Structures are given as C-alpha cells and as structure tokens.
Amino acid sequence: MSHKAWMKTVPTENCDVLMTFPDTTDDHTLLWLLNHIRLGIPELIVQVRHHKHTRVYAFFVTATYESLLRGADEIGLRKPVKAEFGGGMRSFSCEEDYIYENIENELYFFTSQERQNIIRYWLENLRAKQGESLHNIQFLEGQPIIPELAARGVIQQVFPLHEQRILKRLMKSWVQAVCEAQPLDEICDYFGVKIAMYFAWLGFYTSAMVYPAVFGSILYTITESDQTSQDICCVVFAIFNVIWSTLFLEEWKRRGAEFAYKWGTLDTPAESIEEPRPQFRGIKRISPVTSAEEFYYPPWKRLLFQCLVSLPICLTCLSVVFLLMLGCFHLQEFVLSIKELPRILRFLPKIVLAVIISACDEVYKKVAYWLNDMGAF
C-alpha cells in the first residue's frame, strides 16, 4: 500500500518515517517491536495506526526537536555556522548549538531529508540483546533488529514520507520551469546531496553538450559531398571532441567541488572511521583508531571465505552462464538450419536467452547478497 493511502485514510501530523507490516502480523509481534523501539530508542515518537480496509498495521515514526538535535550530534550532521562564528559547515554539537544558523527556528533548522536520516539511523541501530528472540527468529547479541525483521518479511517496508507542501513548490520551480535554472539548493535540502549532485551534473552536462551540437551542425552544413571533405570534417570534429571532453571534465571537477563545499560534503570523514552498515556482524572490541566500541570481523576469516567459498561460487556461476549462452547459440544454429520451420519459431532461441538472462539475474542477485552477508562486509 502506498504512503498516500495511509496518509489519506488515517491523518497523522508530523510523521517522518512509515513502517508497515503484512496483514498476517499478529498483535504479539507488533507489541514486541513497539516495546523494543520505545525502550531502545526513547527519542522516537511512535504512533500505531490501522488501515480498516486492508486490515494492515503501520507505525508512524517521528521525533521531537530536542531529540533530533541529540541525534544530529550523534551522527555528526554537518550544519552551516553563523557568520559571526566563522561561517562554513561544521558537525553539529549540542554543547555549542548557539553557533548554528536557524537553531532558534524548529521548523527550518532541519530539512525533511535530515530528519528522516536521523530517524533511519536510530531505527537501523536498534540492536538485540543476548538471547532475544521473536517467534522462530533468534537474534545474535548486537544484531540490528529492524533490518533482520525486514529481511524475514516481518516488516513489509520502511520508507520516508513526502511533504506535499515542498513537492508542490518543487513542481513549480523545477519540473514546470523548463527554461530556468534548477533549484539545486532546494533539491539538496529535500532529496539529499547525492540526488542534488546528480541533477547538478545532469544540468551541467546538458548545457555543455550545446557546444559539440552547434559545432557539429556547422560542420555538417559546410561539408561537401566528396569523400575527402567528409574525412577532413570527421578529423576536425574528433579533435574538437577531445578538447571539449577535457575542458568539460576539468570544469566539472571545479563545479563539483564548489557544490560539495557548499553542501558540506567536501571534507567528509574517511570510510575507515565511518559507522559500519547495520547488517554487519562481528565481535565487539575497542577500536584502536577511535577508542570507541565497534564490531570487528577478522580479515583472515573474510579472506578464507573469499578463497574457499566466494571464488568457487563465482567461477561456477560464470561457467553456468557461459554454457547456457553457448547452448542458446547452438540452438540458434540448429533452428536456422531447418528451413521448414515457421518464421515465428526462429525467434525461439532469442526468447530462451532473454528468459535465461532474467532468471540468472534474480538468482545471482540472491547469491550476491548471501555472499556479502556471510563474508561480513
């Protein structure tokens, strides 16, 4: 069921993240998870709602402004600093919250994307204690609860909700404004830096394509019909493309760095000190880098799994694909050799190959997820 149906059927104010459950979910599961969320993440406000037509339950999740401030401090959210305190971007700190712009305004200090990101961080880091279980699901100590329940199908989906007010504004200033510049700052505030950076690159690339398009059109117009003239124009256009592509890449490096600095991602922490993904499993230890408690998986175990399990499975999968493809080619030759076959049956090998590719894609995707989880990446 879409979030629009939920919001129209059961109006709920200030909902940032929606968590839905299958219609077969029993009350014990709902109460067990609700109790763990309220005890493990007291910062969250969870409201239980029921859709009367489909008989499906959902958790409407949000948080107070004070809780979001603590969450921003916890994840190191970068926010703009007031000019009198030096300006620029800085990781949020509750102890010095007065130095950040719009800190006094609860409605505009956090963007929709930032609120949802903080709530998602809390939900994904709700971890089980030793010996905890739900029905036939046995949790490991420190294992993330919600990602595991989502993988087992206990939780149907967890997704952020749109703000119709902001979407309508973006519809006017972005989608309907064809000949105007993209509101990249608004896109970044709502969808996040990755989406905004993509559309910034897309707009820059589209604008840069004007030069080869115009130059190519001019060459096409002045080129004569003889082979020599066409060859000369092809060489000239190739040289132009080499120069244009070099200038394009260098200019985008500068433009991308400007956007990264403006949106506070130019000096993001290195991956070595970032939090591991919630699905990562390992033993607890004190990090020699940050001196904080972390989950650790010995590299030799990962290497052993790669050599004895991952590599043989990958080679087997490649061999299976190669043999299936080779079989389709032989089938194609056999079908073409029979001249009495109807014309439509000549497409049978191609149809078989398309079905095999789709089936292998689904199977290998599950194999890849399994290898990734078992290898503790």
Q: What is the pLDDT along the chain (377 residues), one digit of tens a residue?
A: 555 555 554 445 578 899 999 988 899 999 999 999 999 999 999 999 887 777 788 999 999 999 999 999 998 888 989 989 888 888 899 999 899 998 988 888 998 889 999 999 999 889 888 888 898 888 877 788 998 898 888 999 998 888 888 888 889 999 888 788 899 999 988 888 889 999 999 999 999 999 999 999 999 888 877 888 888 889 999 999 999 999 999 999 999 999 988 887 776 654 444 556 656 667 777 778 767 666 778 888 888 998 999 999 999 999 999 999 999 989 988 888 888 878 888 888 889 999 999 999 999 999 998 888 787 66
The three-point CA angle 226-230-233 to 5° equals 145
Query: Per DSSP, which regions of 2-160 are E strands?
Result: 17-20, 44-51, 56-63, 78-80, 89-91, 133-134, 137-138, 157-160
Residue 279 sits at φ, ψ, to 5 deg, of -80, -5
The pTM score is: 0.68
d(CA 56, CA 22): 6
d(CA 257, CA 252): 8
Residue 274 sits at φ, ψ, to 5 deg, of -80, 160
CB 125 within 8 A of CB 160: no
